[in-house]
Amino acid sequence: MHELVLLAPETAIEDLSDALDALDALSVSVEDADALTPAEQALFGEPGMPPPKEGWQRSRVVALFQEESAAREAAVLLQAQDFFSGCQVIGVQPVADQDWVRLTQSQFDPVEITPTFWIVPSWHEPPSVARQVIRLDPGLAFGTGTHPTTRMCLRWTANRGAQGLRVLDYGCGSGILAIGAAKFGATSIDAVDIDPAAVEAARLNAVANHVELNTGLPEAAQGEYDLVLANILATPLKVLAPLLCAHVRSGGHLVLAGILERQADELREAYAPWLSLSVSDREDGWILMTASR
């Protein structure tokens, strides 16, 4: 394979990406051309949301082509386009063959939740100290255990236990929190998400972990639960406050994640009409907020 490397201003990125796609590029990646220099420009987006901008003020665009001739032809055709003024062709270069599967796998190691509870990819043996394990490979849905928000929810469940509980995992992603609840004894678990791909991922991950989950779209959440887990983000969590609180039975618990330290007060305020939230864990600037009814 060969890659065509271009330099482009942010204003040209959308047209350039569309044109490369039309020219049968196998993939197009956009990076900050000034990365790791004093001119590096930080662009922060929220997980699951579209990026705040299409590219950086000086973007390095790399398009992958099966054949060298296709890459060179694309470079010639692009240079004739109006939107290409301000862009530059850096060159066409061969891509060295690699074992991409092995490379990807090498980036995911087992994740410790508690000293005896681990998230372990299928290509690793569980650590000998692990008494409880979730087998999970990175996929299309969020939730591999590498993010602090996921870890805090899992730690809460591991420390408190879930024996015999009815549990709702709202915004289940990979299903990791629901599977965690099952591993700690929950007997009836609904795992729901607005993203059908996440619903399917959660279903498959449940099968791989030999646990039973009722997976579905949010309407599948019905009635009251002993434990409601929701790791989404502050804004949707505020909108969902009445709905999530209505699902917590008397004596039950609500566990919320996806909240930054500075957002604690706004969350407390949003939930105050129904439940009194407090911060019960924190990691890397993220907090876990919980309440009981």
For the annotated binding site, the residues are: 150, 171, 193, 231
CB of 247 to ligand SAM, least distance (A): 12
Give the single-character DSSP code of 205. Answer: H
Q: Give the DSSP H/E element, type plus range, for residue 278.
A: strand 278-283
Q: What is the Cα–Cα distance from 45 to 55, expressed in whole angstroms?
A: 12
| Residue 176 is a binding residue for ligand SAM (CB under 6 A) | yes
CB of 200 to ligand SAM, least distance (A): 12
| Residue 142 is a binding residue for ligand SAM (CB under 6 A) | yes
Q: Segment contacting ligand SAM (CB under 6 A): 2-10, 165-173, 182-190, 273-281?
A: 165-173
Q: What is the Cα–Cα distance from 175 to 142, expressed in whole angstroms?
A: 9
Which CB atom, from 55 or from 216, has the smaller least distance to ligand SAM? 216
Contact 119, 157 (CB under 8 A): no
Contact 277, 238 (CB under 8 A): no
Which CB atom, from 3 or from 226, has the smaller least distance to ligand SAM? 226
Where helices occur in 147-263 by DSSP H, the ranges are: 148-160, 176-183, 196-208, 234-239, 241-246
| Residue 195 is a binding residue for ligand SAM (CB under 6 A) | yes
| Closest to 274 in 3D by CA, of 257, 258, 292 | 292
Which CB atom, from 71 or from 232, has the smaller least distance to ligand SAM? 232
Q: Which residue's entry shows tokens 């003020």?
A: 57
Q: Segment contacting ligand SAM (CB under 6 A): 33-41, 63-71, 130-138, 187-195?
A: 187-195
Among 8, 75, 165, 173, binds ligand SAM (CB under 6 A): 173
Burial class (CB in 10 A: 0-12, 13-18, 19+), 164: exposed
Task: Give the footprint of ligand SAM on residues 246-265 (CB under 6 A).
Answer: 258
Q: Segment contacting ligand SAM (CB under 6 A): 57-65, 75-83, 193-201, 275-283?
A: 193-201
| Residue 34 is a binding residue for ligand SAM (CB under 6 A) | no
Task: Give the footprint of ligand SAM on residues 38-67 (CB under 6 A).
Answer: 47-48
Give the single-character DSSP code of 261. Answer: G
Q: Segment contacting ligand SAM (CB under 6 A): 75-83, 126-134, 136-144, 260-268?
A: 136-144
| Residue 153 is a binding residue for ligand SAM (CB under 6 A) | yes
Distance between start and end Cα atoms, the chain: 59
CB of 141 to ligand SAM, least distance (A): 6
**Burial letters for 108-140: b for 16+ Cβ neighbours within 10 Å, e otherwise?**
beebbbeeebbbbbeeeeeeeebeebbbbbbbe
Q: Which residues bind ligand SAM (CB under 6 A)?
A: 47-48, 141-143, 150, 153, 170-173, 176-177, 193-195, 198, 218, 231-232, 236, 258
